[in-house]
Amino acid sequence: MADREVENNAISDQPQISTIVDFDPPKKPKRNMYAIACSVLASMTSVLLGYDFGVISGAIIYIKEDLKITDVEVEILVGILNLHCLIGSFAAGRTSDWIGRRYTIMVAQVIFFVGAILMGLATNYAFLMVGRFVVGVAVGFGLMIAPVYTAEVSPASSRGFLTSFTEVFINGGILLGYVSNYAFSKLPTHLGWRLMLGAGAIPAVIIGLVVLALPESPRWLVMQGRLGDAKQVLAKISASKEEAEIRLADIKRVAGISEDCTDDVVLVPKQNHGEDVWKDLVLHPTASVRHALIAAVGIHFFQQSSGIDSVVLYSPRIFEKAGITSTNDKLLATVAVGFTKTIFILVATFLLDRIGRRPLLLTSVAGMILSLATLAIGLTIIDHSDQKLTWAVALCIAMVLAYVAIYSIGLGPITWVYSSEILPLRLRAQGVSIGVAVSRLTSAAISMTFLTLSKGITIGGAFFLYASIATLSWFFFYFMLPETQDRTLEGMEGLFGNFGWKLTKFRKKNDEVT
Nearest Cα to Cα of residue 181 among 337, 75, 331: 331
CB-neighbour burial class of residue 15 (10 A; exposed 0-12, middle 13-18, buried 19+): exposed
DSSP letter at 279 equals I
Given a contact cutoff of 8 angstroms between Cβ atoms, the answer to whether 349 and 392 are in contact is no
Q: Is residue 404 in a domain?
A: yes
What's the predicted TM-score (pTM) here?
Answer: 0.70
Are 198 and 286 found together in one domain? Answer: no
What is the secondary structure of 213-261 as a DSSP string?
A: GPPPPHHHHHHTT-HHHHHHHHHHHSSSHHHHHHHHHHHHHHHT--TT-
Identity of residue 253: R
Domain limit, last residue, from 264, 284, 307: 264
| The predicted structure's pLDDT at residue 501 | 47
Q: Is residue 252 in a domain?
A: yes
Are 259 and 286 found together in one domain? Answer: no
Polymer length of the chain = 514
If one counts the domains in the chain, the total is: 2
| The predicted structure's pLDDT at residue 365 | 96
Are 38 and 167 found together in one domain? Answer: yes
Q: Is residue 448 in a domain?
A: yes
Q: Is residue 22 in a domain?
A: no
Q: Is residue 15 in a domain?
A: no
Q: Is residue 13 in a domain?
A: no
Are 130 and 216 found together in one domain? Answer: yes
- How far is 402 from 56, CA to CA, in rounded Å? 22
Are 117 and 259 found together in one domain? Answer: yes
CB-neighbour burial class of residue 360 (10 A; exposed 0-12, middle 13-18, buried 19+): buried
Q: Is residue 78 in a domain?
A: yes
Considering Cα of 248, then 251, then 257, then 260, what sign does the dihedral take? Answer: positive
The continuous run of DSSP H or E covering 140 comes out as: helix 125-153
Are 249 and 328 found together in one domain? Answer: no
Are 259 and 309 found together in one domain? Answer: no
| The predicted structure's pLDDT at residue 264 | 82
| The predicted structure's pLDDT at residue 14 | 46
Considering Cα of 447, then 451, then 452, then 454, what sign does the dihedral take? Answer: positive
| The predicted structure's pLDDT at residue 275 | 58
Domain of residue 244 covers 30-264
CATH number at residue 129: 1.20.1250.20
- How far is 359 from 155, CA to CA, in rounded Å? 21
| The predicted structure's pLDDT at residue 20 | 39
DSSP letter at 307 equals T
Are 218 and 292 found together in one domain? Answer: no
Are 302 and 422 found together in one domain? Answer: yes
Are 302 and 177 found together in one domain? Answer: no
Domain limit, last residue, from 198, 232, 264: 264
Q: Is residue 3 in a domain?
A: no
Nearest Cα to Cα of residue 373 among 476, 471, 473, 474: 471
Given a contact cutoff of 8 angstroms between Cβ atoms, the answer to whether 310 and 466 are in contact is yes
Are 147 and 282 found together in one domain? Answer: no
Nearest Cα to Cα of residue 171 among 367, 356, 404, 414: 404
Are 260 and 330 found together in one domain? Answer: no
- How far is 314 from 490, CA to CA, in rounded Å? 41
- How far is 483 from 44, CA to CA, in rounded Å? 27
For the chain, residues with pLDDT lower than 50 are 1-2, 4, 6-7, 10-26, 272-273, 500-501, 503-514
Domain limit, last residue, from 237, 264, 291: 264
